[in-house]
Amino acid sequence: MTDTGMILYAWLWRLIQFALGFAGIAALLGAALRQRYRWRISRKGWRNRQVPIWFLKLWRADRESVALQARRVWLAGCGLGIDPRLYLAIRRVAIFVLAFIALSLGAAERGGGLALSNRGAAAGIAAALSAAACFDGMMLNALRRYRTDRIRREIMTVARQLLYYSGSRLHLHGKLLRMLPLTRIIRPELGLLLNEWYHDPDRALRRFRERLGTEEAGSFAESLRSLRLHESGEVYDLLRAMVQEYKARIELAREGRKETASYLLFVLAGVPILYTFQVFLYPWVQEAANLFDALNP
């Protein structure tokens, strides 16, 4: 065997070893980090840690307000199990502290009384973070819409499978258990629903709806409750109508994203035109203006 053949054989053997080692490590990590939902239940309510009332009163987050109600809806839609009162108080603390830091660094930059490098950049970053905290509703709302769209897709997939099992004698719990691998976003909540099913089905469905926090989850939970109480053709007709409605909403959301992308591409297409005007046409316009100024003193 020539030297070239020996080198190729050695590199091929190393590549095979690397592939086998990578596959083994990936399998071990997957087995160690895989979530098991068979005996897992929700521990919400076992240990309730109350938010200090003095902290909420200090930042005026203890009373019902429009801001508090909006954050409650947004946090539930994003799947964040955070107390909205605590979130609102921390948001106001962050706005106050970051604005104070930005003003302090800006004053130190002008006066030169603080020996700190890049004071202007630090003040700009603090001001930007304070502004982002002021407009947190836009980010939470965008995250809620994205999560709602993903949940709608997975609920539609599960509902289609339920329609496929409409003539089966399998129990509803067994049907949902077979559909668990088809989900991704709602898999933890669906696993908790299946584990809590035999404790109290109605309570499990209610907590499933509360954990997801979307309108689609509420209507799907009501459909599951109807199927559990009385499995009939009318319930499957309602489920079929729900699938059609979700499909129409998904198509509408897809068209909206396409329209937004087209607007963004239109704006990006205008940037080279402006750059071309600034580089090539603006000097000629400026020279023409100087010529007219010279002719008409």
Q: Do 205 and 177 belong together in one domain?
A: yes
- 164 with 228, same domain? yes
Q: What's the pLDDT tens digit per position in 188-223?
A: 888 889 888 888 888 989 999 888 888 888 888 998
Indicate if the pLDDT at residue 37 is higher than 60: no
Q: Pick from 207, 199, 195, 73: which is nearest to 144 by CA?
A: 73
**For residue 282, what are its two tokens?**
């603006």
CA 145/CA 253 separation, integer angstroms: 10
Residue 257 domain-assigned? no
Chain length of the chain? 297
Residues 83 and 163 in one domain: no
Note whether residue 289 is domain-resident: no
The closest of 209, 216, 218, 212 to 80, measured between CA atoms, is 212
Residue 260, in any domain of the structure: no
Check whether 277 has a pLDDT greater than 70.
no
Let me know how many helices (H) and strands (E) the chain has, helices first: 12, 0
Indicate whether 210 and 164 sit together in one domain.
Answer: yes
Please indicate, yes or no, if residue 182 is contained in any of the structural domains. yes
b (16+ CB within 10 A) / e for 112-125: eeeeeeebeebbee
Is residue 267 a part of any domain in this protein? no
| Amino acid 210: pLDDT | 86
Give the range among 36-50, 166-180, 188-202, 207-221 with minimum mean pLDDT.
36-50
Is residue 150 located within the same domain as residue 242?
yes
Are 78 and 115 in the same domain? yes
Q: Phi first, then psi: give them for residue 175, nearest 5 degrees.
A: -65, -45
- Cβ(98)–Cβ(119) below 8 Å: no
With a CB cutoff of 8 Å and minimum separation 6, the contacts of 148 are 77, 214, 215, 216
Query: Do residues 174 and 218 both lie within one domain?
Result: yes
pLDDT of 228 reads 87
Angle between helices 215-229 and 233-276 (to 10 degrees): 160
Give residue-wise pLDDT tens across range 233-246. Answer: 888 888 888 888 88
Any domain includes 97? yes
10 occurs within a structural domain = no
CA distance 287 to 180: 71
Checking if the pLDDT of 286 tops 80, the result is: no
Question: What gap in Å lies between CA 204 and CA 210, rounded to an integer?
Answer: 10
Q: Report the alpha-carbon distance of residue 251 to residue 149 in Å, rounded.
A: 11
120 with 150, same domain: the answer is: no
Co-location of 183 and 126 in the same domain: no
Domain co-membership, 159 together with 110:
no
Residue 17 lies in a domain: no
What tokens were used for 271? Answer: 């940037």
- Residue 29 amino acid letter: L
pLDDT digits (tens, 9 = 90+) for 108-145: 766 655 444 566 677 777 788 888 888 888 888 888 88
Same domain, 242 and 164: yes
H or E, element range at 239: helix 233-276
Per-state percent for the chain, helix, strand, coil, to nearest 5: 80, 0, 20
Total structural domains within the chain:
2
> What local confidence, expressed as pLDDT, does residue 1 receive?
47
Question: CA–CA separation, 104 vs 96, rounded Å?
Answer: 12
Give pLDDT, residue 111: 60
Domain boundaries, position 242: 146-247
Clarify whether residues 209 and 241 are in a common domain. yes
